[in-house]
Amino acid sequence: MSPAKARLIHLLGLPGHKIAYEQARDLLDHPDVEVRRALAQRTDLEPEILFFLARDSDASVRRIIATNTTAPDKASVVLASDSDADVRADLAQRLGKIIPGLDKSEADKAWRTVQQVLALLVRDQLPRVRRALSDALKYIPDAPRDIVLQLARDPEVSVAAPVLEFSPVLTDEDLIDIIQSSPLTASLIAISRRVNVGEEVSNAIVGTADVDAITALLNNQSAQIREATLDAIIDAAPVYPSWHEPLVTRRQLPGRAALRIANFVADALLQKLAARQDFDAATTAALGLIVRQKLNRGDTPALAPDPLSAALDPAALKVAAARAADLMQAGKLTPVSIMKIAQDGVSTVVIAALAARASLPVTAVAEVVRSASAKGMLAVAWAGDFTADQAETLQLKVARVMPNQVIKPRSDGWFDATEAELEWQLGMFKDAAKT
């Protein structure tokens, strides 16, 4: 580098050294890009000088202008369509820094220009530019709503995730609508990690039956989960070990839920659950008893036994079926009595009771439960003279059908299937039980 060039760059970099308009104008066409870069870094130049630098032939100069907080609005519009993706990404990051300080009235020319630039960047062909914009806007409470919504619905998860997880602009209604549009797991996980996820949003996430998203939701201690939604999670939890620890450590865990969880978690988690100090005396005592019973039996499995496997044990089903037949004959096996035991989830007793009530082989009902069939359990309930509302509960509690797959009653309260369809389901599971 020549001494003259070095001195010029040094002077351009001095904060207190004033550059006359004529001198800056002459430097716009300087043959050395290092000089033009040094000029572009200054924040005391006339707007038109910065505007001309925004159209410099060298991308490195344009990148500096993209990050220059004093660059004029017209320069931002030009840079939003720049041929270099780094320039556009740098511009997106700068906009995120200046938006909080802008006058957001539609009468403000600077705000209208920023909105114009954002509209260009949100439609950028390159995901990394849109991702830079999403990162820049994710924490801003007064970011343009239409832009944030467009980013949240972006087909590229890396673009959507930042605003889905952090943006205060998105309402619960927005999030539920996005969840119901069947986004990818990564988008659901991002929503599950939001601070103070609302009850309706939590319910919508659980309704997707996405295991990883539900895991993230359970790990989010600030997420609000209503008791009915938590019950649905616990119904399916025995076969999803990744849910066990966050369930055990969940804040404000109802005592009834804790006792259900105690039936399937591993020993170490059971002891952690029993050691909690926030349950009432009755729940604490019941948990302590469960722990002592397991220790007395010498049970030390790496994972607690799966309740589903226990419920489907052939020998246990045979014994339960004989008892259920006696109760049925005595007129004591009513839909109401069966629904009471069904509230505790799947067991040999409830499978045998359903089979007796529906005049089906216990192996056929066991096959319905084994396959977690919503249609199969609907048919069993129909054959047993249960209501369509009761059939919905049986699908959730006994067949362990995920909430979004449950067959709900029709608007008139009847089963959402024809008798022929229900008969076919029963025949199919009878045949399956024979093989």
pLDDT tens per residue, range 158-197 = 999 999 999 999 999 999 999 988 678 889 999 999 999 9
pLDDT at position 35, please?
86
Q: Is the pLDDT of residue 303 over 90?
A: no
Distance CA 129, CA 135 (A): 10
pLDDT tens per residue, range 126-150 = 999 999 999 999 999 999 999 999 9
**pTM score above 0.75:** no
Per-residue pLDDT, averaged over 34-53, amounts to 91
Distance CA 254, CA 332 (A): 31
In which band, very low, low, confident or very high, does the pLDDT at 386 lie, cut at 50, 70 and 90?
A: very high
Task: Tally Cβ neighbours within 10 Å of residue 32.
Answer: 14
Integer-rounded Cα radius of gyration of the chain:
32
Output b/e per residue, 134-156; b: 16+ Cβ within 10 A: bbbbbebeebbeebbbbbbbbee
Per-residue pLDDT, averaged over 51-67, amounts to 95
What does pLDDT average to over the chain?
89
Give the sign of the dihedral formed by CA 27, CA 33, CA 38, CA 41.
Answer: positive
